[in-house]
Chains A and B, each alone.
Chain A
Amino acid sequence: MTSTVPTAGELPADIPDFPMTRAAGCPFDPPPTAMAKQQEAPLAKIRLWDGSTPWMVTRYAEQRALLADPRVSADITRPGYPLQTAVAPGSRSGTGSFILMDDPEHARMRRMVTAPFAIKRVAALRPAIQKIVDDLIDGMLAGPKPVDLVDAFALPVPSLVICELLGVPYSDHDFFQDNSKVVIKRDAEPEERNAAMAALSGYLDDLMGEKLAAPADDLLSGLAGRVKAGELTRQEAAQMGVLLLIAGHETTANMIALGTLALLEHPDQLAILRDTDDPKLVASAVEELLRYLNIVHNGRRRVALEDIDIAGRRIHAGDGLVFATDIANRDPEAFPDPDRLDIRRDARHHVAFGFGVHQCLGQPLARLELQVVYSTLYKRIPGLRLAAGLEQIPFKHDGVVYGVYELPVTW
């Protein structure tokens, strides 16, 4: 077995750069180079922007095992952590939050915001979300066409929902949407990203001040209560607010727009969804689209704390790990015929929300929003179609989160 453990001198010269590029004309499929690496081995060396060469974990089983392994750390400050981008001088991480910490500190902070995302609490939001979706569709139907579905629908739905949940005024949506876009852009300059983060942090800090003075029935006021009780600093609370605000609108917006595009390109699947009243089939379609599209396409980042032997290889302490969940969700061992979009398949075990203790906190809310959207939009606008060729659609190849910048549609 030791002969299969590569040392620095034996590393192949053709280590591919990461992130990798999708094939032209295949906007829904992971990069072919990544899929080829998955076929070759469960671990592959990749080269990042800074020249470092962490492991890319390619297969479903190994990704799940390692993401749930306590010897694997999410602490961005540890040596060897595979950074997404350059970190500007003076900033610790760009997003100093519990998603970049280990237990017990991570668990302590996460548990302060888990209650509002419990299944029953989220399910109670269904009528409010349905109304938001219906009102926005009413507006689209009454307005001019073609219309940009991102601007008119995909972005407003989750933004309105997360504003309501957190207690953020929706009238500030241009401000937080624009700054969030910069924060999650792969090629944003470090200074640019820092400025956007600082703007969002300052905004949330001001809001925290308001919630401290006049608490309301919302998540930020709950955090303000913890600040008063001495469980959190005001800065930590504001930072958690930034995380929840960004994560709460950008990701779901991309799933709405890209999911709609994928369905329009798979009319047989769209027809099944449009013609059903079965909530289980709608839920199944949501899971399948989450699997198939896996919009968080930049790889979940970790670093090994100890030597770990897995799949005949040795990961050394301090080795960086990049979990390409997009290709794990196309692993034929976990999903037969993985490149086929099939909303009837059981895809519930996908890793689009990650795996391990850092798995997406907001997933119940994301699922509910997508279930309401996918079960409403195509029924109410049955003639929905693209108002441009697929080749004209601007994809977010440069985003930490994949999607489309615009989706011109008509009906």
Chain B
Amino acid sequence: MKVILDQDKCVASGQCVVAAADVFDQRDEDGIAVLLTSDPTPDQADDTRHAAAVCPALAIQIQE
């Protein structure tokens, strides 16, 4: 699994951090999402998919 994050689309809702805190974080200055890893482990995969599904800005893409 590979995760692609479009920071220009991000609206800093933080939903990805709630869903997968090991994969996503937020920038201190404006809450925009950052990737902690673009290659989640198999046990992070479900949470990462959920993060992509609930992102209100559709800023997270997943390549399986």
In contact, B11 and A110 (Cβ under 8 angstroms): yes
Which residues of B6-47 have CB atoms within 8 Å of chain A's CB atoms? 9, 11-15, 17-19, 21, 25-26, 28-32
CB of A27 within 8 A of chain B? no
With A355-B56, A356-B57, A359-B56 as contacts: A111 and B32 at CB distance below 8 Å: yes
Give the distance in Å from the alpha carbon of A68 to the alpha carbon of B54 in the complex: 11
User: Which residues of chain B have C-beta atoms less than 8 A from A107's C-beta?
Assistant: 11
With A68-B58, A120-B26 as contacts: A357 and B31 at CB distance below 8 Å: no
In contact, B56 and A357 (Cβ under 8 angstroms): yes
With A117-B14, A348-B19 as contacts: A111 and B56 at CB distance below 8 Å: no
Closest CB in chain B relative to A72 CB, distance in Å: 13
In contact, A348 and B50 (Cβ under 8 angstroms): yes
User: Which residues of chain B have C-beta atoms less than 8 A from A121's C-beta?
Assistant: 31
In contact, B12 and A354 (Cβ under 8 angstroms): no
User: Which residues of chain A have C-beta atoms less than 8 A from B3's C-beta?
Assistant: none
In contact, A357 and B57 (Cβ under 8 angstroms): yes
In contact, A115 and B57 (Cβ under 8 angstroms): no
CB of B53 within 8 A of chain A? yes
Contact of A356 among B15, B32, B53, B56 (CB under 8 A): B56
In contact, A118 and B56 (Cβ under 8 angstroms): no
In contact, A354 and B56 (Cβ under 8 angstroms): yes
Complex interface bits, A103-146 against B, C-beta within 8 A gives 1, otherwise 0: 00001001110110111111000000000000000000000000
User: Which residues of chain B have C-beta atoms less than 8 A from A316's C-beta?
Assistant: none
User: Which residues of chain B have C-beta atoms less than 8 A from A380's C-beta?
Assistant: none
Count, chain B residues at interface, CB 8 A: 23
Q: Taking beta carbons and an 8 Å cutoff, which residues of B are in contact with A?
A: 9, 11-15, 17-19, 21, 25-26, 28-32, 50, 53-54, 56-58
User: Which residues of chain A have C-beta atoms less than 8 A from B50's C-beta?
Assistant: 348
User: Which residues of chain B have C-beta atoms less than 8 A from A353's C-beta?
Assistant: 13, 56
Which secondary structure dominates chain A's binding surface? loop
Which residues of A335-367 have CB atoms within 8 Å of chain B's CB atoms? 348-349, 353-361, 363-364, 367
User: Which residues of chain B have C-beta atoms less than 8 A from A120's C-beta?
Assistant: 17, 25-26
Closest CB in chain A relative to B31 CB, distance in Å: 4
Could you list 8 further interchain pairs (A-B, Cβ under 8 angstroms) beyond the known A114-B30, A119-B21, A120-B26? A115-B12, A117-B14, A118-B14, A353-B56, A356-B56, A357-B11, A358-B11, A363-B15
Closest CB in chain A relative to B5 CB, distance in Å: 15
Contact of A115 among B17, B21, B28, B56 (CB under 8 A): B28
Give the distance in Å from the alpha carbon of A121 to the alpha carbon of B17 in the complex: 12
With A348-B19, A348-B50 as contacts: A117 and B12 at CB distance below 8 Å: yes
Give the distance in Å from the alpha carbon of A359 to the alpha carbon of B21 in the complex: 20
With A68-B58, A111-B12, A357-B56 as contacts: A119 and B30 at CB distance below 8 Å: no
4 A-B pairs closest in CB distance? A359-B56, A114-B12, A114-B31, A118-B31
Closest CB in chain B relative to A239 CB, distance in Å: 19
Residue in chain A with minimal CB distance to B16: A119
Give the distance in Å from the alpha carbon of A29 to the alpha carbon of B25 in the complex: 36
